[in-house]
Amino acid sequence: MSVPLYLHPMKDRNTIRFSDSDRGIRAATFFLRKGGLVAFPTETVYGLGADARNERAVADIYRAKGRPAHNPVIVHVTDSAAGTMLIDLPEAGMKAAKAFWPGPLTLVGPVRGDSGIAPICRAGAETLAVRVPEHRLAQTLLKAFAGPLAAPSANRSGQVSPTHADHVMEELNGRIDGVLDGGPCAVGLESTILGFDADGTARLLRPGGVSLEDLERTLGVVRSGIIIDDTAPSAPGQLSSHYAPGARVRLNADAPGLGEAWLGFGPDPDRISAISINLSPSGNLEEAGTHLFAALRQLDEWLNGSGVIAVAPIPQSGLGQAINDRLRRAAAPRT
């Protein structure tokens, strides 16, 4: 399949910041109903929402982001009942839905014939990715809209994901109708994506806000097989260069080199350079996840988008798996 990039310029839109209020929700819902684009907060990152039943509206998401046409989007619904009506899930999938929805887990399964979801959300696949977010405002918006919302992260394709409404504005001002401002996102890392093999066993397609350890406690076996391959991505967010700031990223550093910025984790000795952020001085991986993307953005801004961000080693346990995954992609050679 040949896959064009949606690169045509978009007509300017006057991007409105909707407040966390009844009025803000009503206005956001108005734009979504007429096929517009509205970014909204979830517990993971801000999503760029559109009516998932409206092919043209979802096509506009791809254009606004510059997202490659082969990269499908996640569809958000209010509860497990609505989610399991869109896709067929094996027993392990139903168990995962029960244990982790609402929350930062996305489940992928064969789309049901009567789902009503626009095929563009699947980008050519037979499977659809579905999530039930927990965030209060995401829930309020989904209920007011009373339908499924397609929502990938609200950033330009390949850039660092937004965890504040200001980040959404930096990325998409003028290209979308609005952003519902719910303050910073609590988890700060995208959802964990779980697919299922033909035998019904769960397979981790992207590490994220639910740790592998927590999934294994509930499901027993979870297979891992994250494929980093730009020609045939299994979860296309796996494109190897992603979450990329302008500066280069140097991983597992002992200390910053001369002129480098420093992204620390755990107690930092005094020798750190002037330009530095510590993700969690106490070494807490949840806290580090919350701050990761905002810290990358801030260091990049201080460095004017060039130079080097040196990053301290981060343990691979718990949310460390997702944090290290994002950092590896941020450090990957740019395509």
Residues that bind ligand AMP (CB under 6 A): 71-74, 108, 122, 125, 127-129, 152-153, 190, 193, 205-206, 235-237
Q: Which does 125 bind (CB under 5 to 8 A by kind): Mg ion, ligand AMP, none?
A: ligand AMP
Query: Cβ of residue 207: shortest distance to ligand AMP, in angstroms?
Result: 11
Nearest residue relative to ligand AMP (C-beta) = 237
What are the CA-CA distances from residue 28 to residues 31, 32, 143, 177, 254 (Å)? 5, 6, 12, 9, 46
CA pair distance 310, 261, nearest whole angstrom: 6
Q: Specify the residue, 36 or 195, whose C-beta has the smaller distance to ligand AMP.
A: 195
Q: Which does 120 bind (CB under 5 to 8 A by kind): ligand AMP, Mg ion, none?
A: none
Cα dihedral 136, 138, 139, 142 in deg (nearest 10):
160
Applying CB under 5 A, the site for Mg ion has a residue count of: 1
Query: Cβ of residue 183: shortest distance to ligand AMP, in angstroms?
Result: 20
Query: Cβ of residue 237: shortest distance to Mg ion, in angstroms?
Result: 6
Q: Which does 127 bind (CB under 5 to 8 A by kind): ligand AMP, Mg ion, none?
A: ligand AMP
CA pair distance 132, 27, nearest whole angstrom: 22
Query: Cβ of residue 206: shortest distance to ligand AMP, in angstroms?
Result: 6
Per-residue tokens: 38: 């509205």
Site for Mg ion in 194-253 (CB under 5 A): none
321 contributes a contact to Mg ion by CB under 5 A: no
* β partners of residue 87: 111
Q: Which does 108 bind (CB under 5 to 8 A by kind): Mg ion, ligand AMP, none?
A: ligand AMP
Q: Which does 206 bind (CB under 5 to 8 A by kind): Mg ion, ligand AMP, none?
A: ligand AMP
Query: Cβ of residue 156: shortest distance to Mg ion, in angstroms?
Result: 10
Q: Which does 134 bind (CB under 5 to 8 A by kind): ligand AMP, Mg ion, none?
A: none
Q: Specify the residue, 71 or 78, whose C-beta has the smaller distance to ligand AMP.
A: 71
Q: Specify the residue, 236 or 256, whose C-beta has the smaller distance to Mg ion.
A: 236
- The answer to whether the CB of 221 falls within 8 A of the CB of 237 is no
Q: Specify the residue, 72 or 102, whose C-beta has the smaller distance to ligand AMP.
A: 72
Q: Specify the residue, 133 or 236, whose C-beta has the smaller distance to ligand AMP.
A: 236
CA pair distance 42, 297, nearest whole angstrom: 19
Q: Specify the residue, 181 or 190, whose C-beta has the smaller distance to ligand AMP.
A: 190
Q: Specify the residue, 159 or 278, whose C-beta has the smaller distance to ligand AMP.
A: 159
CA pair distance 101, 98, nearest whole angstrom: 6
Query: Cβ of residue 182: shortest distance to ligand AMP, in angstroms?
Result: 17
Per-residue tokens: 170: 């930096």
Q: Specify the residue, 13 or 76, whose C-beta has the smaller distance to ligand AMP.
A: 76
Q: Which does 128 bind (CB under 5 to 8 A by kind): ligand AMP, Mg ion, none?
A: ligand AMP
153 contributes a contact to Mg ion by CB under 5 A: yes
Q: Residue numbers of the site for Mg ion (CB under 5 A)?
A: 153
